[in-house]
Structures are given as C-alpha cells and as structure tokens.
Amino acid sequence: MDKDSGSIFEQQLERNDANCAALSPLALIERTAAVFPEHNAVVYGELERSWAQTYERARRLASALRARGVERGDTVALMLANTPEMLEAHFAIPMTGAVLNALDVRQEARTIAFILQDSEAKVLITDTQFAETVEKALDTLPSPPLVIDVEDPRGPAGERLGKLDCEALLAEGDPAFPWELPPDEWDAIAVSYTSGTTGNPKAVVHHHRGAYLSAVSHILVWGMAQQPVYLWTLPMFERNGWCFPWTIAAMAGTHVCLRQTRAEGVLEAIRRHRVSHFCASPAVLSTLLAAPAKLRRRFDHPVRVMTAGAPSASVVAAIEAMGIELTHVYGLTEAHGSATVCAWQPRWNTQPPEQRARLKARQGVRYPMLEGLMVADRETLEPVPKDGHTIGEVLLRGNGVMKGYLKSALATEEAFAGGWLHTGDLAVWHPDGYLEIKDRSKDIITSGGEKLSSLEIESVLCEHPAIMEAAVVARADEQLREAPCAFVSLKPDAADVSAEEIIEFCRQNLTHLKVPKTVVFYDLPKTSSGKVQKFKLRAYAWRL
Amino acid sequence: MDKDSGSIFEQQLERNDANCAALSPLALIERTAAVFPEHNAVVYGELERSWAQTYERARRLASALRARGVERGDTVALMLANTPEMLEAHFAIPMTGAVLNALDVRQEARTIAFILQDSEAKVLITDTQFAETVEKALDTLPSPPLVIDVEDPRGPAGERLGKLDCEALLAEGDPAFPWELPPDEWDAIAVSYTSGTTGNPKAVVHHHRGAYLSAVSHILVWGMAQQPVYLWTLPMFERNGWCFPWTIAAMAGTHVCLRQTRAEGVLEAIRRHRVSHFCASPAVLSTLLAAPAKLRRRFDHPVRVMTAGAPSASVVAAIEAMGIELTHVYGLTEAHGSATVCAWQPRWNTQPPEQRARLKARQGVRYPMLEGLMVADRETLEPVPKDGHTIGEVLLRGNGVMKGYLKSALATEEAFAGGWLHTGDLAVWHPDGYLEIKDRSKDIITSGGEKLSSLEIESVLCEHPAIMEAAVVARADEQLREAPCAFVSLKPDAADVSAEEIIEFCRQNLTHLKVPKTVVFYDLPKTSSGKVQKFKLRAYAWRL
C-alpha cells in the first residue's frame, strides 16, 4: 500500500468550503469592517473615514470596475499619491480578481508608457497632479487604457485626462458588491516594476497567499497591539507599501495619509494623531533629523519606525534619541513584505549607544513567516561560514516570495535557480547568525583575486569632509583585472580638493587593493527613487 | 481562450521551492531557535531550558522515534501533564510526519483503550503518574503501542510500564535530525478525541495549515508583544493547548509549566515569572477568586487571561479587579485555535463595570484568520436577524477548521453540510454583530411551539440562594410536546428547600413556558473535563 496516500489521516478528509479558504488580504478588511465599522480607517487632513465607509467605497469601486469589464487576471494601473483612493484601490482591485499595478509616480513618461503596455493595463487611475507625464505616456500607446482621474482637493490642480473621475465612478458602484475570495490563493494580486538600477525594469508578480502572510508578518515583528495608528511616509507604490495597507486592516488600525513627506508635516502628524508606527527610508529619516529642533523634541508617546536600506549608526542613534524606536529591515521587490529584520536581542540593551546602533545597522535574520534564508555561494548553494568576513549571496525562500517575473520565463528561472530566490545582494554572516549586506553582486570589484565591496570604499570616501556623495565601480586594470574607480560629488561649501588628496585619504583608511586608482568629480546619475545608476558609471569608467 | 488559465499572470509562474513552503508550526520553532537560541523556552520549577535546548531535545525525540519506525501518517499518543516533555512532543512528533494524539489524562482506562486502538497509536508516551489507568488500558489491547515512560521528579512517583524511558530515548536521538516541513500543509498534525457529552467520543483531525494559522491568530487577538511569558493552566491535551505551544514559539516567548492548577501555585507563578498571558476555564478563574486575599492582591505588571465557556459577569469583574485583563473566546475541538472572540470596542471603556462585564460575557465576533461565521438556520443556512432574540446555529468556515472526523465519513459530511462547520451550538446575534451562545442544539427545549434555552433557565436557578448547580433538559409533555425538567444540587450549607419553592422562584423570574414542570434533587453526572452529561439526565427525565 502506498504509505503517503494510504494513511488513515488521508482518507475521506479532503479540503472543502468549510475548512479551507484562500489566504487573501481581502479577508482582513471584511472582518475589520464588520467588527470595528465605526473606527477610523483613514485620516487625511480634515477627512476621516471609518472602516465601514472605506469598505463600502472599495466595494463600490470594485463593482464599477467590474461593470466596465475588469475581470480576473486583468491589470489595473495606479498613478497615485498616498491618498485614501490609493488605499481603497488596494482592496477594490483584488476584489474584482484583477491585479494592482502601482506606478512609481517619479518616473518619466517613457517608462510609464512601457509599463502600461507591458502589463496590458486595462484601466489607469491617475491623480491629476501627474497629468503631464501621464498624458505624454498615453499619447505613445496604440491602445491606451480606460483613464479615471482622481481630483484631490488637497493636491495641486492638474488637467483631467479621462472622461470619468473617480468619485463619479464610485457613485455608479454597488456598496454591497458581492466580491469573492480568489478561487486560488496563488492568483496574482499585484505586479510591481522594479525601478531598475540596471536600466531594464522587471515586472515582479505577487500572489494573494504571499501578500496575506507578508502583511501579517509585520504584526509579529513589531508585536503590534490592536488599533495601531500608521503614518504613510513610505510611498504606497513601493511594493504595495510593503503590504502595510493590509497589515493595518488586519489590526483595525488607522491609516494617516500624507501626500508629501516634508519633515514638518511628518513630525506634526505623528504628534497630532499619536502615530504609533511608520516606515521611512534613511533619506526621510535624515530629513526628519534636519528639521528645526522645536519640531524634533522627544515624543511623549511610543513611536516605532521601520526602515530599510542600511541607515548609518549615527542616524539610528539620533532617531532613537527623539523617542522613536527603530526597526531595521531589508527587503526587495521580489519578496513582498520584508525579507530580514535586525531582531533585537534583550542582552544588547546594556551595550553603549554607539555599539547598539552598530548592531542595529545590520540587516539581521529572516523575517517571521519567511521559511528560509542563507548567505551562500550562488553557484554551489553552499552556505558561507559565519565568520563576519566571507562574502556570499543572500538567498531566500518562503511564501512571501514572488510568483516570478511577468513574461520572462528565463529571468524567473535564473532568479529561482536551485530552489532559492537569488537576491543579487552580497553579505557576510556574523557569528551570531545576523547578516550584513556588503554590496550588490554586480557592484563587487574583483581585483588581484580578491572581492572588494564597493560599499565599504564608498563609506570611507563619505567620511572625507569635502565629499557629499560617492559611488565606486570597477574599471578595467591590466595588472589586477579590475580596480576601484570612484565618482564623487563635493559639498556646495567644500574647500577645493584634488583627486590625489582623496586617494591619499583612502590610503590612510583602506587596505592597498581597495584604494581607488581613479577619482572622477561627477554629478551622480540616479533613478527616480534616488538609487545611483551604477551601470551608467560603469560604462563611463570603462571608456576612461 | 480560457480566461482563467490564460491570463498573463498564470503563464510560467508556478509554485516552486523558492516561493511556496508548507505552512506548519514547525517553521516557528526553527526560526526562534536560530534567532533567540539562549532565551528561555521553558521554565518548570527550578528547571530552565533555552530555545536552542528545547529545539535540540525535540529533534532528538523526533530522530529516536523515526529510528523506531515512526513515519508520516502514524499516530503517537501522549498521556502527559503540562510538562516540558509535553511541549517538546508538540514539535517532535510533527517533525517525524506523525500525528499527535494528546489524551485527556482524567479519562478512565476504557476510554483510553478505545482511543489508542481507534487512532492506531504506534507509540504512547506516558507520565508515570497515570500508570494505573494506562496499564489497565494496555491490558485490554490486542497489539499495544510501544510505551515510553516519562518519570518526572516533580510529579508523584508511579510505576514504569515500558522498557524505555523518555530521557533514554532522547539520548539515542540525533540533536541535528534533518526533519523537513510536511510535503503537504494539508497533512494531519493532530487528532483530538472530544470528551463526549453525548457518550461517543469523536476523533477530530487537524492539519498543519490550520495549526499554523490558528497559532498566529492568537497573536493578533492579544496584540502580543515579542517574548511573552505564558503560563500553562489550560491542559495542553485540550485541543493542543488551543495551539499555544506554537503561538509562544512564534513570538520567542517563555512557557511556564505547571503540573497542577491550584490557586496558590498559579498566582505565585504569575508574580514570580511576571507571566504576561495565560488561558483558563471559568472554573479555574473561580478557584483563583476563592484564594486567600493576600494571594489575590492586584498584580503590578500587565497580565492577560483568555477564557472560554461563558464566565459570569461577576467573575469577569472580579478577575479584572485583580489587574488581569480578560479576553473571552469561544472554541470547539472542531476548530483548532478559537472560533470567536469578544473583541473589545474602545467605546465600551466608558460603560459602568457591570455593563462592561455583561458585554464581555458574550462570545462575540469571528476570530482573526477565520474566514466565515454566522448564526443561521441549520437547514436553510439563512442567517437569523441580528435582533438579540432569534436563535440559530453557530456556523463556521475557515482555515482553522478540522480536516474532519477520523474514520467517520458520514459524521464528517454532516458536520460540513452546505460548506459550513455545524457547531451544534445555538446562539442569538445581537444588533452590534456580537453573538451570544444560548445552548447546545440538542439541549434546546421545544415547548408549545417555542424554542427554550436550557442555559437561560439554569442561570435563573443558580441565582437561588440554596442551589449550587443546575441542569435543565426536556421531558416529554402531552400538551406542550416538551417541558423543562430541572436537576439541581444544593449547597452543602443550604437551608432545606422544596421543589415547589424552586418552581415558585422560577415563576417570579421566567416566562410561563420556561418554568420547570419538574425539579429533581440530584448529583449531576459529568465528563472527565467537568461538562455535565445531559444525555444521561435526558434519559432519566424521559423515564420519570
């Protein structure tokens, strides 16, 4: 008898409607709207909407989209700021079975056009603030999507591009629209185009199962109490706001929406709404720290911020001095929520502040609900020793990982080689099991038989008093194969400094091979999200 | 083209090892042992064991069981108190792919024998305290399981029944046993025999997927912070301790084990270990309230208790006066964790204490991560109006619901009729969406065309100063079809009271039909878990 199919626990005990439901973030808003209907789901300026109202608006939007032909597997694109409409769309679009495609609003028309065409968007919901870019993009499309305008009285005025506006569409919709959970939790819920530090955006497809579990995993990491107050500083178009639209629904919390992340507005909102949680990039944290001291006075209620992208130890310490507890995570578009967290060890509480900040600046350990993480050789999948020194690639597996890349079977196969997601990020594994990211794999410099971290060289360069920003890439070298080539921009008020002086400074702080052989004064090229486009610098360096 | 299979989001985007892992509680201990290896997993008297040690012991046990032939789909039975071995078994047995069968240690030998045979237990791990019962049970079995004794120095001495003791077995095992997640998250993780208020225990089969989600759902309900301290007052054999062995692993908490739930030991443990959470039946809560005042002084740290089984409003108020915040849930063996919770509404904070306690004594709304709940007609599945008056059956659906009943396809089919789990519990639905259980369906009394709640009549009887306990069942009645028949036991120091006086008391407090026509003074028959066996009283009443 076949043991696997024959055990008594396999006989006439199948899945059915009573004991197996698709995991989907949609279940989260349904419950919260039923249990806490009057609690504020969203606060935006003077506007407040309850969970019952937000759920009703999402159902109206879903029903109106369905009436206009949006079906399971279609794409609905969003060109929106962090407004209530953006939040509602995160529920409404999956209710129709369609797939969310939130666009990075900072991108140029050409990229927007490429994405709308590639994702085969049937509908585009767009804030009039972005009308100029969107119009240019639409003009180039052979069959443009149905355009729905969002006219936000709190936003800058802008041209209407479509025949329909969002409120008119909602008025058409059925507030009791009988949406259903997806027939399969593996159904796509979102497609996110990476902003592309290499020039070619990839379309990452996420699934309901992963979105649900990723949303819940944040609750565990933060040990989040019921009814948090969450401030939107992170763009909701970035990896669906790391899944927080759904996390906050699960805990019946309140979303505080903001169109802009100016320091004054953020700090005022935290105080006024007693914000308990927010997410922010290190750049936004630096903005907060640059605010006038009066605004930066310590908060008298608990505030927690989640940040990714390796904040410096000094930023960590300064943010915590404001009474904001910082959680350092690491994520990537290919993993829907977060992939790692620098989980805090109680024994670290007794360390001096600088050491605590240094420990916290590491990317850490696997996120709850992510099943596997290792730092390993990308070819052999052999884990590197936990010595804090040997560099390997960060490899992940688990339910938060994407379905794959849209229309790119080869890229999908490569990304999942050996049954692990290859992140392309290089890290060391410390003896305590915490990983620390050293570089992107394509940014590593192979010189004289050694692998050099461009990040390490950049961080030394940034310690030079005259340097504002630095980026280091490989340049061909006859003797060593490759050698570091530094691109630097100087501070506006910096004293004149020569390339030789900078090289001398590096000699004093780096081992021989790591010292740049070339220093170029240059305005660093960046993506719309502010990442340096090293592929452009690399091309420049090879032409030198 | 077939839309469902043909969307661009379905093409070459299959599940693989990198993006889909079986949901299983085993992932929870693996992560916590890696991230918080030195944190205490368990405290038991003077014994303390870290997560690394507990994980190692679980792997040793799993490997030793595997070496003795335990494979996927086998059953391993447990006759254990709330000791570290019981906790470790909750990880070790699923690691082998086998199914946990935790026995109610209060049951008689005949029932134990029936369960061991019915579940086809291959191994029995048994605490020597229960040797007498277990030996009797084993004697009646044609092919008894392999017996492994647990000799607990903190327990009462008892005879050893097997040739192996648990520590010797662990010594055989491999601390690095390479267990794997189940090949299918629908695999059985546990089988629980209901204690049977009707005389026939049913074997409820639970799955990895449900156990995982049920374990996590408690974190949401309690808004649990990282590293809770959880006290074991609830028996771990009851529905796998409502899944808390796994919940606490997910949050890297500490399990405080106790063999007994005497008031003094419980209250002392809460204070000494700064227990943050525990679960307890209303009976245990009453025991705590009966403790000497010195022990009951208010706790100076936050303590939360989860209770099921409809605590009275006065118990709720008294427990909260001790500084213990009470969460009222409702569950049943067929749903692994909990099914409903009386989710607290912030607006209730301003209510007077008695009203708050009354609100909290309701069973409430669906648990997070349970996808469906309604109070409905059991035949038509039509929801009852939310009027606080119309009685319907509590119906559930979601991922925490059992696979079904072992070897009972017919019972499984009946339980899942119409795609909902029929709980057999009758409730009203209040206008605010909170349900309140009125009775078991088989305990309802149909009299003069009306459905009467036996619970309501019992609660009036218990208000009589002489009555200690009361149970009401239907008795045949020529005129009304059925009429209430009350069985009551008096308080030891109560004044003499006649059946007529009790009936008169009911007349003053109940509408005509609800007044018992018969009152019998009787010692109520109960199951080992303390539930009144109404089927016995019903038989008695019909013979009257």
A264-274 pLDDT per residue, tens: 999 999 999 99
pLDDT digits (tens, 9 = 90+) for B398-439: 999 999 999 999 999 999 999 999 999 999 999 999 999 987
Which range scores top for mean pLDDT: A218-227, A283-292, A309-318?
A: A218-227
CA torsion angle B359 B365 B369 B373 (round to 10)? 160
Average pLDDT of the residues of chain B: 93
A186 has a chain B CB within 8 A of its CB: yes
- A98, A161: one domain: yes
Predicted pLDDT of residue A331: 94
Candidates A219, A345, A415; nearest CB to B219: A219
Chain A CA closest to residue B205: A9
3-class SS of residue A329: strand
Q: List CB contacts of B67: < 8 A, sequence separation 6 or more.
A: B172, B173
Chain A CA closest to residue B183: A4
Task: With CA atoms as reference, report the closest residue to A344 among A372, A318, A320, A374.
Answer: A320
Chain B CA closest to residue A335: B19
B399 has a chain A CB within 8 A of its CB: yes
Cβ pair A19:B399 closer than 8 A:
yes
Interface of A with B in 215-244 (CB under 8 A): 216, 219-220, 223-227
Q: CATH number of the domain at A306, please.
A: 3.40.50.12780
Chain B CA closest to residue A423: B18
Probe site for chain B from A2, A7, A9 (most B CB atoms < 10 A) = A9
- Nearest 5°: the CA angle A330, A333, A338 is 35
* Band of pLDDT at residue A336, cut at 50, 70 and 90: very high
Rounded CA-CA distance A140/B292 in Å is: 81
Q: How far is A317 from chain B (nearest CA, A)?
A: 22
Q: Is the pLDDT of residue B197 over 90?
A: no
CB contacts, 8 Å: B210 with chain A: 19
Predicted pLDDT of residue B2: 42
Q: Which residue has the higher pLDDT, B304 or B543?
A: B304
What is the enclosing helix (H) or strand (E) of A109?
Answer: helix A109-118
Predicted pLDDT of residue A493: 83
Rounded CA-CA distance B205/B197 in Å is: 19
Candidates A35, A120, A371; nearest CB to B433: A35
Q: Is the pLDDT of residue B39 over 60?
A: yes
* Band of pLDDT at residue B509, cut at 50, 70 and 90: confident
Q: CATH number of the domain at B524, please.
A: 3.30.300.30
Average of per-residue pLDDT across A452-481: 88
- A314, A459: one domain: no
**Chain centroid, CA B500 distance in Å:** 39
Q: What percent of chain A has pLDDT over 70?
A: 98
Predicted pLDDT of residue B217: 98
CB contacts, 8 Å: A18 with chain B: 396-397, 401, 415-416, 419-421
Q: CATH number of the domain at B109, please.
A: 3.40.50.980
* Band of pLDDT at residue B196, cut at 50, 70 and 90: low
pLDDT digits (tens, 9 = 90+) for A165-202: 999 999 999 999 999 999 999 999 999 998 654 556 79
- B79, B183: one domain: yes
- A389, A529: one domain: no
What is the enclosing helix (H) or strand (E) of A51?
Answer: helix A51-67
CB contacts, 8 Å: A363 with chain B: none
- B369, B499: one domain: no
Query: What's this model's pTM, rounded to 2 decimal places?
Result: 0.90
Predicted pLDDT of residue B1: 37
Whose structure tokens read 């099943």? A371
CB contacts, 8 Å: A412 with chain B: 12-13
Average pLDDT of the residues of chain A: 93
Q: What is the DSSP letter of A526?
A: B
Q: How far is B66 from chain A (nearest CA, A)?
A: 15
For residue A26, tell me if it sits in a domain: no
- B450, B405: one domain: no
Rounded CA-CA distance A226/A520 in Å is: 53
B499: its two tokens: 């059946």
Final residue before a domain boundary, out of B404, B438, B472: B438
What residues make up the domain containing A189? 35-175+183-326
- B532, B396: one domain: no
What's the full length of chain A, in residues?
Answer: 544
Average of per-residue pLDDT across A123-137: 97
Cβ pair A35:B365 closer than 8 A:
yes
Predicted pLDDT of residue A3: 43
Helix pair A51-67, A84-95: axis angle to 10 deg: 60
Q: How far is B174 from chain A (nearest CA, A)?
A: 22
* Band of pLDDT at residue B60, cut at 50, 70 and 90: very high
Query: What is the phi/psi pair of residue B365, to 5°?
Result: -120, 175
Predicted pLDDT of residue A1: 37
For residue B331, tell me if it sits in a domain: no
* Band of pLDDT at residue B5, cut at 50, 70 and 90: low
CA A243 vs CA A221, A249, A439: distances in Å: 14, 10, 26
Interface of B with A in 88-127 (CB under 8 A): 99, 120
Are the C-beta atoms of A229 and A253 separated by less than 8 Å?
yes
- For chain B, the first-to-last Cα distance in angstroms comes to 71
3-class SS of residue B1: coil
Locate all alpha helices (DSSP H) within B144-262, ordered by sequence.
166-172, 208-222, 239-242, 244-250
What's the full length of chain B, in residues?
Answer: 544
Q: Which residue has the higher pLDDT, A108 or A29?
A: A29
- B91, B202: one domain: yes
Q: What is the DSSP letter of B465?
A: T
- A467, A425: one domain: no
Average of per-residue pLDDT across B472-488: 90
Q: Is the pLDDT of residue A534 over 80?
A: yes
pLDDT digits (tens, 9 = 90+) for B533-543: 888 898 888 88
Amino acid identity at A24: S
Task: With CA atoms as reference, report the closest residue to A399 among B86, B431, B21, B14.
Answer: B21
Cβ pair B73:A4 closer than 8 A:
yes
Instruction: Please report the ipTM that was assigned to this predicted complex.
Output: 0.90
- B78, B171: one domain: yes
CB contacts, 8 Å: A407 with chain B: 8, 11
CA A162 vs CA A70, A92, A157, B128, B417: distances in Å: 17, 20, 15, 78, 49
Predicted pLDDT of residue A213: 98
Cβ pair B35:A433 closer than 8 A:
yes
CB contacts, 8 Å: A397 with chain B: 17-19, 21
Given CA atoms A168, A173, A179, A184 in this order, what sign does their dihedral have? negative
Rounded CA-CA distance B123/B100 in Å is: 10
- B393, B451: one domain: no
Average of per-residue pLDDT across A337-364: 92
Predicted pLDDT of residue A200: 62
B57: its two tokens: 């012991």
Cβ pair A368:B7 closer than 8 A:
no
Q: Is the pLDDT of residue A137 over 50?
A: yes
Rounded CA-CA distance A254/A50 in Å is: 9
Predicted pLDDT of residue B195: 63
Final residue before a domain boundary, out of B409, B438, B467: B438
B12 has a chain A CB within 8 A of its CB: yes
For residue B324, tell me if it sits in a domain: no
**Between A and B, how many residue pairs show a Cβ–Cβ distance under 8 A?**
203
Chain B CA closest to residue A217: B216
Predicted pLDDT of residue A411: 93
For residue A320, tell me if it sits in a domain: yes
Are the C-beta atoms of B421 and B399 separated by less than 8 Å?
no
Q: Is the pLDDT of residue B449 over 80?
A: no
Q: Is the pLDDT of residue A250 over 60?
A: yes
Q: CATH number of the domain at A383, please.
A: 2.30.38.10
Q: What is the DSSP letter of B119?
A: T
Task: With CA atoms as reference, report the closest residue to A343 among A329, A355, A356.
Answer: A329
- A244, A304: one domain: yes
* Band of pLDDT at residue A18, cut at 50, 70 and 90: very high
Q: Give chain A's domain count.
A: 3
Cβ pair B19:A187 closer than 8 A:
no
For residue B285, tell me if it sits in a domain: no
Lowest mean pLDDT among A334-338, A500-504, B400-404, B522-526: B522-526
Are the C-beta atoms of A64 and A173 separated by less than 8 Å?
yes
For residue A50, tell me if it sits in a domain: yes
Q: Is the pLDDT of residue A528 over 80?
A: no
**Chain centroid, CA B5 distance in Å:** 42
Average of per-residue pLDDT across A25-40: 97
B191 has a chain A CB within 8 A of its CB: yes
Q: How far is A119 from chain B (nearest CA, A)?
A: 9
For residue B12, tell me if it sits in a domain: no
Q: Which residue has the higher pLDDT, A72 or B445?
A: A72
Final residue before a domain boundary, out of A293, A326, A359: A326
For residue B104, tell me if it sits in a domain: yes
